[in-house]
Amino acid sequence: MTRSPLAPPAFPALAAIQGVTPRVAKARYKAWDRCDLTYVEMDEGTIVAGVTTQSKCPSPEVEWCRDALPLGRARALVVNAGNSNAFTGSRGRAAVEAIAARVARHLDCQPSDVFVSSTGVIGVPLPIDKAEAGLDAAFGAEPCTWEQAAETIMTTDTFAKGASAQAIVGGTAVNIVGIIKGSGMIAPDMATMLGYVFTDAAIDPALLQQLMSAANRRTFSCITVDSDTSTSDTVLAFATGRAGNPVLSQMDDPGADAFAAALEDVCRELAHLVVRDGEGASKFITIAVTGAEDDASAHRVALSIANSPLVKTAIAGEDANWGRIVMAVGKAGEPAERDLLSIRFGATQVAAGGYALEGYDEAPVAEHLKGKEIDIGVDLGLGNGRATVWTCDLTHGYISINADYRS
C-alpha cells in the first residue's frame, strides 16, 4: 500500500520502558505473510487505565477490557490484527476468554490482568487455534522494537505510528511512549481504533484514569476521518512504576501537572498521526471554532464541519468554497447567527457579517489550499466557547480502499 503523503519521514526513536517487553508473532489471521499478533508483557505491579468506544455494538474485546479496567491491574496486552472479532456472539467471547486464559497460565496471573484487542473485518469469529498458536510463538519470541509492535497492529494503515515524551516527577525523569493504529472508521466518542501508552511512572490507578480520560477528550475525541465510530476503539495506558518517582496520587503532587501535559502531548501526536494516515488522505485539516456559547457547542460545530463530505471534497479539490462551511455550521443544531459568522482559510478572512468580505482576494486562499496543511477558522460571535478538531480531506482513494476492504 502506498505510504500516505502526510506521513512523517520516519518512525520516531522511542525509549524502552522499564518493566515492559513487547513481542510479535505470526498468527496468520489472514492470507498474509506478516506478523499479526502483538504480545506485550509487563512487570507485576503494573497499573492500567483506559477508554473504549461508545458504539452500542462493541466487540467482546472491548467488553472484556471494560470489565477489567476497574480492577486497575495489568500484566499483559494482546493485539490481533486482521480480524476484529466483533459481532461474533458467544464464539467471539470464547476466543477472548481463551486468549486471556492462555496468557494467564503463562504468567501465573489472573485472566483479568490480560487485556485483549482485535482489529480488522467485522463479523468473523477469531479462530482460537490460530490465536493460541500465535501466542505460543510470541511467548518464545525475542523482544521486538516499538516500531515492529506498531507495524504488527496495522490493518489499512500505510505507516507505523508512535510518539513519546518525558516529564520530571518529584525530581525523577519518567518516560511515556505510545503506539497506535487507525486510518479509517475514525470518529469521536472516542476515535482511535487501537492505541496503547506505556510509562515507567509510579502513579495511582485512579489518577491515571482521570488523566487518560481528560487527555482523550482533547485529543482522540477531537479527530475524525469519515464520521464512523468503530466497534473496537480502545486506548489503554499502562504504568509500571519502575522509574522510582514518588507515587503520583493527586494533581497537587510535585510533577503531576508535567506528567499530565506529557501524557496529553503523546495522545495528541498519536491522534494526529491517525488523521495523517486517513484512508486516501492528501491534506491534514485543522478546524478551530471560536465564539460559541460554550466549549461543547464549539466542539459539535467543529465536528459538523469536519464530517461534511462537501467540505472535505472541496478541500481535496483545493476549492475555497466557504459556502459549504456556512452550510455545515447551520446544520450542526447549535446556536449560530448568520450575520455574526466569520470564516477564514489560513490567515485570510473570507466572510463576515453574512457576506463575503469586501475586496476579498481568493489568490492567497487558493495558494493555502494547495498545501498539505490546511487551517480553517470559524468565529460564531456569540460567546467564549472554543474547540479544535482535526480531520483530512475526502478523495477517490477512500472509496477505493473501502470498496475492496474484505478482499
Strand 385-392, strand 373-379: pairing: unpaired
Query: Is 362 annotated as belonging to a binding site?
Result: no
Q: What are phi and psi of 124, to 5 degrees?
A: -115, 115
Query: Is residue 44 a known part of a binding site?
Result: no
130 in a labelled binding site: no
Rounded Cα distance between 61 and 131, Å, is 14
Q: Annotated binding residue at 80?
A: no
Q: According to the annotation, is 402 in a ligand binding site?
A: yes
Tell me which of 88, 192, 199, 231 is the catalytic residue: 192
Contact between 83 and 29 (Cβ < 8 Å):
yes
Long-range CB contacts for residues 394-400, cutoff 8 Å, separation at least 24: 394/226, 394/280, 394/309, 394/312, 394/313, 394/316, 395/280, 395/281, 395/282, 395/316, 396/280, 397/279, 397/280, 397/281, 397/282, 398/184, 398/226, 398/278, 398/279, 398/280, 398/281, 399/280, 400/280
CA torsion, ordered 351, 357, 359, 361, to nearest 10 deg: -10
Is 245 known as a binding-site position?
no
119 classed as catalytic: no
Please give the Cα distance from 132 to 103 (Å, whole number). Answer: 9
State the binding site: 155, 181, 192, 279, 402, 407
Catalytic residues: 192
State the binding site for substrate: 155, 181, 192, 279, 402, 407
